[in-house]
Structures are given as structure tokens and as C-alpha cells.
A = this chain, B = another copy of it.
Amino acid sequence: MQQTLELSSEVLAQRLADSGLRATPQREMIYEMVLKKRDHPTADEVYARVRADMPGISLATVYNCLETLVQCDLVRAVHFERGPTRYCPNLRPHAHFHDEQSGTIHDVNLTPELLAQIRAVLPPGYDARTVEVTFRGKASPLTSSEHRVAGSE
């Protein structure tokens, strides 16, 4: 787990370099924050968390860095209704369950088989680059706290 965090900055540096971008303290900090507490935070929430360690950072930079991480395929942007964009470091194929009671987001693993079945509903000529599955409802507390999907990548 410590290793994962250490490695993450190397992964980040590599991905940034691949895109001709620099590894900055802000980018590293934001990336590690998103990895650390994988609760699909909004930009504002990331801002609040990062400011504890890096008080001078600006909200604009948080938006810039998150967008950069998305471009580098290290983080995914996810949307619920018209709410603020949330950021997810789980890169495996998964669905999102939005608990209407608590407002929390839960990852739900999707098998390649199911994804294939879903894609199969598309008529010929439709070429889907991405498939998104979103649930909305209630998750009973007893089970929701136990559920955990495997880490990203």
C-alpha cells in the first residue's frame, strides 16, 4: 500500500512525460489525494483536502490538474445528473451506484462478458467508444460498508 503510493508518482511522471507535460508538486499532490480516499470527490472536495497540505494552491489549479490527470488516463471524470463533476481513480471497467439517501458513490465491477452483452444491443453502424452504466437507488448500510472493489489498474 505504501509502495502503491510511491509508485504512483513515478507512474504520474511517466504519463505526464508521455504527453510532454511536467511533474509539478500540485499535480503530484492532487493525484495522490485522489488515490488516497477513493470516494469520487468533486473538485471542491479535492481542493479542500489538498489545501491542508498545500495552503497556497488555487481552485483553478485543482481544476487544471484534474483535467490533466483525466487527459493522461490516470483518473476518470464521472457525472451524476447535473451535479458537480466527480473524479474516480478506478480505471477498471465498472459501473457507478449512486446512493440517493447518502449521496455516496459506490463502484460496481463489470465483467467483460456483461460489457460485451451490453454493446451487443447496438445496431450495426454504431461504434461505441465508451459504455457507461449508472445505478441510482438505495444501498443498505450493512452491506454497503463491506463492499469493496479491487484497486485500479
Closest to A144 in B: B125
Smallest CB separation, A13 vs chain B (Å): 29
Smallest CB separation, A9 vs chain B (Å): 29
Determine whether A20 belongs to the interface, using a CB cutoff of 8 Å to chain B.
Answer: no
CB–CB A140/B128 < 8 A: no
Determine whether A100 belongs to the interface, using a CB cutoff of 8 Å to chain B.
Answer: yes
Chain B residue contacts of A147, Cβ below 8 A: 123, 125
CB–CB B82/A97 < 8 A: no
Q: How large is the interface on A (under 10, 10 to 19, 20 to 34, 35 or more residues)?
A: 35 or more
Question: Which single member of B109, B111, B122, B133 contacts A131 (CB below 8 Å)?
Answer: B133
**A residues 90-115 in Cβ contact with B at 8 Å:** 95, 97, 100, 106, 108-111, 114
Contact with B along A112-134 (1 / 0, CB 8 A): 00100111011111111111111
Closest to A95 in B: B121
A81-B79, A82-B82 known; A144 vs B118 contact (CB < 8 Å): no
Question: Which single member of B106, B125, B132, B140 contacts A127 (CB below 8 Å)?
Answer: B140
Closest 9 CB pairs of A and B: A125-B143, A128-B135, A125-B140, A129-B137, A128-B137, A132-B134, A130-B136, A127-B137, A126-B139
